[in-house]
Each structure stands twice: as C-alpha cells, then as structure tokens.
Amino acid sequence: MSLLDSALVRLLPAVPKPVVQLFSSRYIAGATLSDAVWCVRDLNTAGAMGTIDVLGEEITREEEARAIAQAYRDVFASIDEAALDSNVSVKLTGLGLGLSYDLCRENLLYVVGVAAGYGNFVRIDMEDASTTDDTLRLYRELREEGHDNLGVVLQSRLRRTVDDVEALADLRPSVRLCKGIYLEPGTIAFTDYEAIRANFVRCLDALLDAGCYVGVATHDEWLIGESLARISQRGLAPLEYELQMLLGVREERRDELVAEGHRLRVYVPFGEHWYSYSVRRLQENPAMAGTIARATAGRVLHLGSR
Ligand code: FDA
C-alpha cells in the first residue's frame, strides 16, 4: 500500500455515505432478506455454501437488538423454504452485548433455538478485543448447556489466541479462524503482517491437533496454501474442514477452490445497517479506498474553488 493510499484510507469515514455505498455494494447482498436468498442461491448453484449475516452491530437500544434476533428467525425460515445450503453468522453487539450480557445471552439463545428447530447452525463472529472474554464465556456457557449447533471465531492477530484454543479444546469447538479485522494495540496483538500469518498457522495446527472442525477464513494465497497442506498432511476428508471467503473478494480463486473439491462457504451480509461493515471492507482494499477518497477529495476541492 502506498503511503498516499494508507493516508487516504484513514480519511474514508469522512467520505459521504452514498459514495461508500456505491463502492461497497460488491461486499453486500443487498438491503433485504430476499437479496440474501438470491445471493446464496447463486452461490449454491456455483457449488459454494453461505453464511448469512443480518447487518447490525454496536446496537444501543434493546428493541433493536431483539429485532435483529427476530430477523434471524426469518432468515432460517427462508433458508429452509428455499432449501439453501447456508447457516448464519451473528455479531454479539448486534444482539445487545454492549447493553447487557444477559440480554445478549437471551437473544443468542433464541437464535440458537430457532436454528436447532431447523437443524441449522449459528456462528458467532468475533468483534474487537473488548468483547473477546464475553464472547468466549457465552460460547462456553451455551455449549455446556448442550447447544452443539454453535461455533465461534478466533483471530490470529491476537496474542491470546493459541491459549484460547487450548482453553476451548475440551469443547471440541467448531472454529472459524481468521486474521482479525479490528486493529488492536501491540500489547495484545501482533501488528506485523508476517507475525499475524505465522500465528494463523500456529493456531490452525493447534485447532487441527485438538480435533476441531475448522473454517479457514482467508483470501491470503500463502495462507490458503499452508492451510491446505496441513489439511492434506492430516488426511482430512472434504467434510472435515471448510474454506471461507467474504462476498465480493477473490471470486475467481473461490471458483477454482470449489472446482478442486474443497467445501467453501461465503459470508453473505445483508440489511439496512450496512455502513460499518462496508467501511471495514473498503479499508482492507486500499486501492479501492484510495480511489474513493481521492475522488471525494477532488470533488470537495473542486467545489471549494468555485
Ligand atoms: P489479507 O488482508 O492479507 O488479504 C489477502 C488478499 O485478499 C489481499 O491482498 C486482496 O487481494 C484480497 N482482499 C482481502 N480483503 C479484501 C477486500 N476487502 N477487498 C478486496 N480484496 C481483498 N474478522 C474478524 O475480526 N471477525 C470475524 O468474525 C471475521 N469473520 C470473517 C469471516 C469470513 C468468511 C472471512 C473470509 C473473513 C472474516 N473476517 C473476520 C475478516 C478477516 O479477519 C480479515 O480481515 C480478512 O479476511 C482479510 O484478511 P485475509 O486473511 O484475507 O488477508
């Protein structure tokens, strides 16, 4: 990333929302559940699976958190009706974690209960480091109560993650392993690109050694190669792991991996609360973010000079 691009990426939050929406549309299925259903249907036709996310995070009102939980009921009903190959992903701050642990627990239990009724599965996304302890605590509590249709996410960016793998091992968790999108301070996180990669491989080894089902969530070609080599060394069958990618990212590579016989799941977000998710995705794509920020800056300067 050029210095100019990285400076422009930081300016992204100042870009007008309609411009962000225009450039981020590739990452989001649309505003409605039927947009998500059509998107997953296309993915299924192309041989990939889905995980549907109702957009919404950092919710500040109880009714909103309950509405997101209710929205998942409709998602499961639609998945069932359209016979889609898809589970769901949830953000705990969307279910009210920022308001109260108990409210979030209640909402999560509701979603997991509905999922169980449909024989489906819920993956808890991992958010910033202020939520890690509560997320893992809630995950353990529900698993110990017998809710086995529940998985979690671990981030190789965090220094604690190898210890978290060890601490969770008795549950034989289903884990999505990713680098982690939230930039955390060096005291708790690796900040160097290669160190994050190295920790990803270390955590993957620990998860596979513990007999966990892993969703390897990365578009990083080097990590895809390292992960597939480890999976193959252990002789895992196609049903014993999966690869995961984000909607709108490296779609050609996705199709190749599917053609090679790997099960691959695509993260499909939809809904009205698209803004925070979009900014994160654009910040991961500096060339695009730079283009947008430059275009906007040009427009502002142009207006100013009139
Ligand atoms: P890296 O960022 O190095 O990207 C590798 C290459 O992929 C880039 O060089 C580029 O070609 C391409 N690429 C990556 N992102 C792109 C983008 N936005 N636009 C265009 N090209 C892009 N994080 C988290 O903290 N909690 C979570 O719960 C999840 N959940 C999750 C689910 C799934 C299915 C995926 C794939 C990812 C997540 N993440 C996440 C995000 C993850 O932590 C990470 O930020 C991104 O996947 C980018 O990291 P990569 O491993 O792809 O490497």
pLDDT per residue as tens digits for the range 189-240: 999 999 999 999 999 999 999 999 999 999 999 999 999 999 999 999 999 9
| 282 and 241, same domain (yes or no) | no
| 156 and 230, same domain (yes or no) | yes
Could you read off the pLDDT of 156-202 as tens digits, one per residue? 999 999 999 999 999 999 999 999 999 999 999 999 999 999 999 99
As for ligand 1, residues whose beta carbon falls within 6 Å of it are: 125-126, 153, 155, 176, 178-182, 217-220, 244-246, 249-250, 267, 281, 284-285
| 47 and 59, same domain (yes or no) | yes
**Domain tally, the chain:** 2
CA 98/CA 11 separation, integer angstroms: 27
Which residue is closest in CA terms to ligand 1's atom 1?
220
| 165 and 306, same domain (yes or no) | no
Catalytic residue, candidates 53, 125, 164, 230: 125
Query: What pLDDT shows up at residue 134?
Result: 98
- Rounded mean pLDDT of 291-299? 63
Query: What pLDDT shows up at residue 294?
Result: 65
CB within 8 Å of 250: residues ≥ 6 apart = 219
- Rounded mean pLDDT of 264-275? 94
| 145 and 285, same domain (yes or no) | no
Query: What pLDDT shows up at residue 305?
Result: 40
Q: Which ligand 1 atom is nearest residue 267's CA? A: 34
Contact 258, 47 (CB under 8 A): yes
| 15 and 39, same domain (yes or no) | no
Query: What pLDDT shows up at residue 285?
Result: 81
- Rounded mean pLDDT of 68-86? 98
Q: Is the pLDDT of residue 154 over 70?
A: yes
| 140 and 44, same domain (yes or no) | yes
Q: How confident is the model at residue 301 (pLDDT cuts 50, 70, 90)?
A: very low
- Closest residue by Cα to residue 292 from 27, 25, 20: 20
| 258 and 292, same domain (yes or no) | no
Backbone angles phi, psi at 226, to 5 degrees: -60, -40
**Which of 57, 156, 219 maximizes ligand 1 atoms within 8 Å of its Cβ, making it the mutation to test the pocket?**
219
Q: For the ranges 28-32, 185-189, 262-266, 297-301, which has the lowest average pLDDT?
A: 297-301
Report CA torsion sign: 15, 17, 21, 22: negative
Query: What pLDDT shows up at residue 164?
Result: 98
Mean pLDDT, the chain, whole residue set: 92
Query: What pLDDT shows up at residue 119?
Result: 98
Secondary element (H or E) of residue 207: helix 193-209
Query: What pLDDT shows up at residue 284?
Result: 83
- Rounded mean pLDDT of 29-39? 96
125 is catalytic: yes
Question: 295: domain range?
Answer: 1-28+274-306
More confident residue, 23 or 219: 219
Which residue is closest in CA terms to ligand 1's atom 3?
220
Query: What pLDDT shows up at residue 296?
Result: 66
Which residue is closest in CA terms to ligand 1's atom 30?
125
- Rounded mean pLDDT of 27-50? 97
| 227 and 243, same domain (yes or no) | yes
Q: Which ligand 1 atom is nearest residue 283's CA? A: 18
176 is catalytic: yes
Q: How confident is the model at residue 274 (pLDDT cuts 50, 70, 90)?
A: confident
Catalytic residue, candidates 176, 197, 265, 281: 176
Query: What pLDDT shows up at residue 34?
Result: 97
Query: What pLDDT shows up at residue 82?
Result: 98
Q: Is the pLDDT of residue 75 over 90?
A: yes
| 87 and 211, same domain (yes or no) | yes
CA 256/CA 254 separation, integer angstroms: 5
Q: Is the pLDDT of residue 58 over 70?
A: yes
Q: Is the pLDDT of residue 141 over 50?
A: yes
CA of 246 to the centre of ligand 1 (A): 7
Q: Which ligand 1 atom is nearest residue 182's CA? A: 25
| 174 and 75, same domain (yes or no) | yes
3-state SS, 50-97, equals: EEEEECCCCCCCHHHHHHHHHHHHHHHHHHHHCCCCEEEEECCCCCCC
Q: Which ligand 1 atom is nearest residue 157's CA? A: 43
| 291 and 192, same domain (yes or no) | no
CA 302/CA 290 separation, integer angstroms: 18
Query: What pLDDT shows up at residue 277?
Result: 87
Query: What pLDDT shows up at residue 91?
Result: 96
Rg of the Cα atoms in the chain: 19
Query: What pLDDT shows up at residue 282?
Result: 84
**Which of 174, 178, 197 maximizes ligand 1 atoms within 8 Å of its Cβ, making it the mutation to test the pocket?**
178
CA 90/CA 215 separation, integer angstroms: 16
Could you read off the pLDDT of 81-111 as tens digits, one per residue? 999 999 999 999 999 999 999 999 999 999 9
Could you read off the pLDDT of 106-138 as tens digits, one per residue? 999 999 999 999 999 999 999 999 999 999 999
Secondary element (H or E) of residue 10: helix 3-10
Q: Which ligand 1 atom is nearest residue 153's CA? A: 28
Instruction: Provide the CATH number for the domain around residue 233.
Output: 3.20.20.220
The residue type of 63 is: E
**Which of 55, 95, 218, 251 maximizes ligand 1 atoms within 8 Å of its Cβ, making it the mutation to test the pocket?**
218
Which residue is closest in CA terms to ligand 1's atom 28?
125
